[in-house]
Amino acid sequence: MTDKKLSTEPYKGVRDFYPEDMAVQNYIFSIWKKVAQEFKYQEYSASILEPAELYKAKGEMSEEIVNEQMYTFTDKGDREVALRPEMTPTLARMVAAKRRSWKFPLRWFSIPNCFRYEKPQRGRKREHWQLNCDLMGIAEIEAEVEIISLAHKIMKEFGAKDEDFEIQINSRKLLESAYGKEMFGLLDKKEKMEKAEFESEWQKLSDKPYVETKLEDSPELIKIIKALADMGIKAKFTPSITRGFDYYTGMVFEVFDTNPENRRALFGGGRYDNLLEMFGVEPVPTVGFGMGDVTMRDFLETHRLPLKK
């Protein structure tokens, strides 16, 4: 009886990077770093291992990530440990640790690898790398405008034309005043549902009919859109944009691929002002975004843009 041969396949949902793949990956990273540093953002990093409780703090991460997608294990010291599903809680922990020694505003970026037990499909893996850019310490809309203009510049640096992608924005404040926080989860799924299915689910959760919010109800969004337009950047108000994370408190945005072959959200972000409160320190107003390498490569291939220098 012969021994069973080991498979040469990688773990499901992750990738091997042969030299030609590393060339593409390094190109993507190089553009990310180049533009972030042009905007005067400083690079930081941290371990992929975090205490699982960091992600379980009430109201900070989505229940789907915590309960269904997070990789966790108990170490030899009987501590529950998680493989980082996303970088923002780590950033908050690091800033909170030295809150009193920083001179704000802070402009930081990182390219961490993140892990989520998701169903592998186009645009989604169980491990990915993600550019995170965060501007901390500015409560005014200048922060939103800067972060979105940074994201826009990255897309242009990859060779994308303005018609290749669309920036869609909304406001968590506007959504909460209109519907309440309990409806965010359903609103986040709206574009993936049939109209009848969405309305049926809405009726189960609310005794009020669904009526889309209007841009004129948010003076803040109007100012952001105008400020971006003055810079030559077009942003579209989209009532259904919510973002999946519970920690967002204000403006949220997503960047969409307009090509029919890859019509999907590429990445997004928004304002989160209260995340440091879970560490018992004074909060810091923050706006940021995360851009994944998987969707970025799909975008470049779909639009036949360069994959290398």
Provide mean pLDDT across the span 148-172: 97
Tell me the pTM. Answer: 0.93
Provide mean pLDDT across the span 88-108: 94
174 contact partners, CB below 8 Å, separation of at least 6 = 213, 217, 218, 221
Q: Quick check: 58 pLDDT over 70?
A: no
Task: Determine the pLDDT at residue 37.
Answer: 98
Distance, C-alpha 163 to centroid of its chain = 22
More confident of the two residues 67 and 290? 290
CB 278 within 8 Å of CB 131: no
Instruction: Provide the token pair at 108.
Output: 């930081």
Task: Determine the pLDDT at residue 59.
Answer: 58
Strands 265-271 and 286-292: antiparallel
| 78 burial via Cβ count (<10 Å: 0-12, 13-18, 19+) | exposed
Question: pLDDT category, 46, cuts 50, 70, 90?
Answer: very high
Distance between first and last Cα of the chain: 51
Strands 80-83 and 235-237: unpaired
Task: Determine the pLDDT at residue 61.
Answer: 67
> Which CATH number applies to 19-46+85-302: 3.40.50.720, 3.30.930.10, 3.30.70.20, 3.40.50.300?
3.30.930.10
Q: Give the containing element (helix H, strand E) for 70.
A: none
Instruction: Provide the token pair at 167.
Output: 């920036």
Instruction: Provide the token pair at 61.
Output: 């991460």
Task: Determine the pLDDT at residue 63.
Answer: 77
Query: Which tens digit of pLDDT belongs to each residue from 109-143?
Result: 999 999 999 888 888 899 999 999 999 999 999 99
* Peptide bond preceding 209 in cis form (omega within 30 of 0): no
List strand residue ranges (DSSP E) for 116-231, in order. Answer: 127-136, 165-171
Q: Where are the domains of the chain?
A: 19-46+85-302
Task: Determine the pLDDT at residue 265.
Answer: 93
Query: Which tens digit of pLDDT belongs to each residue from 190-242?
Result: 877 888 898 888 888 888 888 889 999 999 999 999 999 999 999 999 998 98
More confident of the two residues 68 and 266? 266
Query: Which tens digit of pLDDT belongs to each residue from 2-39?
Result: 578 999 999 999 999 999 999 999 999 999 999 999 99
Would you call 305 helix, strand, or coil by DSSP?
coil
